[in-house]
Amino acid sequence: MNPSHRPVRLTRRKVLGSAVAALAAVAETGPSAQAAPPVAAPVNPDDTYGQMTSGVVTGENITEVLPGIWRIHVGGKSEQVTPLSFRSAPTNASALGLLPPVKTMPLEHHAISWTLSARGISVQLPMTHEERIYGLGLDTEIFDMTDRRAICCPSDTPQDKMNYSHAPVSFYVSNRGYGVYVDTARYAWFYTGNVVPKADAGELAGTAQPALSTAGLYEPTPLHHKTMLVDVHPSRGLDIYIFAGPTLRHAVQRYNLFSGGGAMPPLWGLGIHYRGESMMSDQEIVALARRLRAEKMPCDMWGLEPGWQSRVYPSSFEWDRARFPDPDAFIKTIKSMNYHLNAWEHAFTSPISPLFKPLRPWSGNFLVWGGLTPDFATAEARKIWMNHHDKIMFSKGIDGVKLDECDNQPYRAHPWSFPEASVFPSGLDGELMHTLFGELYQQTMLQPLTRRNLRTWSLVRDTFALAAPLPFTVYSDSYDFNCYLRGVCKQAFSGVMWVPEVRNAESVEELYRRVQLVIFAPMALINCWYMKLPPWLQINRDRSNQGQLMPEHQQATKVVRTLFELRMRLIPYLYAAFNEYRLRGMPPIRPLVMDWPDDVATHTIDDQFMFGPAILVAPVQPGRRRRRVYLPAGHWYDFATHQRMDGGRWITVDAPVERIPMFVKSGSIIPLAEPVPFITAETCFELTVYAFGTPRESITLYEDDGTSLDYQKGRQNTLEITWRNGTGSVARGGNYSGPPRYAFKAFHSV
């Protein structure tokens, strides 16, 4: 299951004796401490508990597995189950070959060491003092991951900025232009530069400063170099993958391509997603869906929340016949209005479900909410799941899912999910299963859609490493605006998609600010699962459920419609960015540090991001009317006014409530579409193409059927737009021969 391991040369130091002696030895290990420590006299000669070994990585432990990607094996035998053993897609090796070549591993191997103790294995990797570390998943309370303890443990909510999240990912990147992936499904602990090996005591001598303040007592220890410590227990051996840059962004691209390349949404997936109130009946849904169409609110996907099922918590995976007497007729009606349908579920299977009996032998040994936890690591559970879901959902035309509650509650006194001590028929324990559960669940749900040659753009509440090829976006129950925004900035470091959502709001202004953020997310999501009316008709939850329109509903409808239309105008541009994600691993939405890693000002910016290749977005917090925006070096154009500005500086912009600060990088070509209310097989976007400054590079649009997987077989066209002598020209090529997706209306120079 695992990639093969090369033999390891151990620098063996066996300490037979007390754990105390072992600890003394462990403390002495590290890149600069190769001399064997003294061996303490054993307290109890029979006590072998404290045995430990350690080693320094040698050339023999390293294999360059792909261009610019090295595997290092440390310690003894790796665990049989790791994320790589359940990867979702093969590596895109040919695309890796197109990235800038890097011949030498970016970290010196003799500076990497490991220690094996009764606890498990730990690895020390070198860092420099100025280095910034990013990634490790989606704890939306932290951006810069340097000098922390970060635990890669799935969780339904963040906790104390310790990295618990819906997507803890054991991959980090450095602004020095490399990435590190630790192939483990254990809850790995990363100390990102804030531990000091005893071996560095020499360097410390004479540097200690007297603390002049209480805060000074806790200042980090000044050292010339730093150490990254990765602590994985109870594993005895590990594979670690080092990804070359040369820049941080290239390291992320390599990691995404190693994972299989970025996921490809269907075109409709990039439109607006609306989720209705949980307990709505078929008639209520159809009425509201009609209203959205009548009011010309763009919308491409309707999400069914729990009420479509006859029983939830745990789930029956059967239609509720009181609310949906004729599911087939309901689906037909909704689809005839050009909505795609997405259905909510969680995996815990009720005793009343037809899946209960067949799944019983293929589930974990603990119930969750009284339901079975399917073992998606077994082919049997997958098959049972797939067949049933194909029958009740996909064969009927549902083409999206929302996989809820598949995370964990690691620090709650009353968790509801399965315990870490669980065992599963596949041999996975509860800890491994918690880490992998979201991804295994996504893979299982994807299979029937793939068989039907359909793409999806779905939702999941837990994912992990190597997730880039999975067409699922991660959401959360949290509702903090800044965390939502930070997540949008941060997602790109870890090969995952983060989706903030709009629900209720305290004020109409807050509603606008929230919509202004979600239209720039990988999925533009309005999640009204606890509100009968859309928030542009009523922002207050209780009044929404009483059916009361708010006084400002007409104006709010107009403003929100305009924002949705902005999203629709950007779809061809965004679709192009997603194709770059698929083909080159380039994240479509990125924090500034990813494009300007050498500009120190970008290192901590967690509230502005690049949307596609050229648009910088700086959303405004609810309640604010002005904000500071950093424009990196070069020239920029205000998206709305086309005013040209100098970069390399902070500016303060006025942001009245209907304005989103957006700036276009000089030298860019931006196609903008006439907004459409939804996307069908025939939709042809009418484009006006703008050139900002003097574009030297072209932009490529991608044309295909928008829904099937045929693009993988080459049924896709590229439309390369170049700019010369003040106007654009388009070169079309490729093997797609369906209805054209783009018509060019006009070309403008700005």
The CB-of-561 to ligand GAL minimum distance in angstroms stands at 24
In 3D space, the residue among 264, 258, 265 whose CA is nearest the CA of residue 95 turns out to be: 258
According to DSSP, the β-strands at 458-460 and 472-474 are parallel
Buried b (16+ CB within 10 A) or exposed e, 167-186: bbbbbbbbbbbbbbbbbbbb
Nearer to ligand GAL, 69 or 401 (CB): 401
Nearer to ligand GAL, 174 or 476 (CB): 476
CA–CA separation, 430 and 187 (whole Å): 11
The CB-of-304 to ligand GAL minimum distance in angstroms stands at 10
CA–CA separation, 167 and 495 (whole Å): 10
The CB-of-226 to ligand GAL minimum distance in angstroms stands at 38
The CB-of-656 to ligand GAL minimum distance in angstroms stands at 31
Interface with ligand GAL, residue 306, by CB under 6 A? yes
Nearer to ligand GAL, 344 or 639 (CB): 344
Instruction: Give the total of residues touching ligand GAL (CB under 6 A).
Output: 9
The CB-of-187 to ligand GAL minimum distance in angstroms stands at 22
Nearer to ligand GAL, 475 or 711 (CB): 475
Nearer to ligand GAL, 58 or 278 (CB): 278
The CB-of-541 to ligand GAL minimum distance in angstroms stands at 13
Nearer to ligand GAL, 481 or 747 (CB): 481
Which element (helix H / strand E) includes 733? strand 727-734
Contact 608, 599 (CB under 8 A): no
Interface with ligand GAL, residue 237, by CB under 6 A? no
Question: CA dist 482 to 298, 479, 694, Å?
Answer: 26, 9, 35
Beta bridge partners of 174: 133, 178
The CB-of-461 to ligand GAL minimum distance in angstroms stands at 6
Q: Which of 529, 575, 596, 637 binds ligand GAL (CB under 6 A)?
A: 529
Residues 462 to 491: which contact ligand GAL by CB under 6 A?
477
Q: Which residues contact 481 (CB under 8 A, 6 or more apart)?
A: 513, 514, 517, 621, 622
Nearer to ligand GAL, 477 or 542 (CB): 477
- Is residue 93 classed as helix, strand or coil in its secondary structure? helix
Q: Which of 231, 305, 431, 606 binds ligand GAL (CB under 6 A)?
A: 305
Question: CA dist 246 to 70, 103, 137, 493, Å?
Answer: 14, 10, 22, 15
The CB-of-47 to ligand GAL minimum distance in angstroms stands at 48
The CB-of-405 to ligand GAL minimum distance in angstroms stands at 6
Nearer to ligand GAL, 254 or 389 (CB): 389
Which residue lies nearest ligand GAL, judged by its C-beta? 529
Angle at 229 between CA 225 and CA 231, to 5 degrees: 175
Nearer to ligand GAL, 79 or 462 (CB): 462
Q: Which of 318, 404, 431, 607 binds ligand GAL (CB under 6 A)?
A: 404
The CB-of-397 to ligand GAL minimum distance in angstroms stands at 21
Nearer to ligand GAL, 344 or 484 (CB): 344
Q: Which of 344, 348, 464, 692 binds ligand GAL (CB under 6 A)?
A: 344
Q: Which of 82, 527, 579, 707 binds ligand GAL (CB under 6 A)?
A: 527
Interface with ligand GAL, residue 458, by CB under 6 A? no
Contact 318, 310 (CB under 8 A): yes
CA–CA separation, 571 and 705 (whole Å): 15
CA–CA separation, 539 and 531 (whole Å): 9
Interface with ligand GAL, residue 431, by CB under 6 A? no
According to DSSP, the β-strands at 149-151 and 189-192 are antiparallel
DSSP state of 657: T
Report the 10 Å Cβ neighbour count for 76. 15
In 3D space, the residue among 563, 517, 569 whose CA is nearest the CA of residue 536 turns out to be: 563
Q: Which of 139, 405, 606, 705 binds ligand GAL (CB under 6 A)?
A: 405
Q: Which of 278, 281, 700, 718 binds ligand GAL (CB under 6 A)?
A: 278
Displacement of CA 118 from its chain's centroid (Å)? 34
SS (H, E, C) 543-564: HHHCCCCCCCHHHHHHHHHHHH
The CB-of-244 to ligand GAL minimum distance in angstroms stands at 38
Nearer to ligand GAL, 334 or 459 (CB): 459
Nearer to ligand GAL, 502 or 687 (CB): 502
Structure tokens at 602: 């970008």
Binding site for ligand GAL (CB under 6 A): 278, 305-306, 344, 404-405, 477, 527, 529
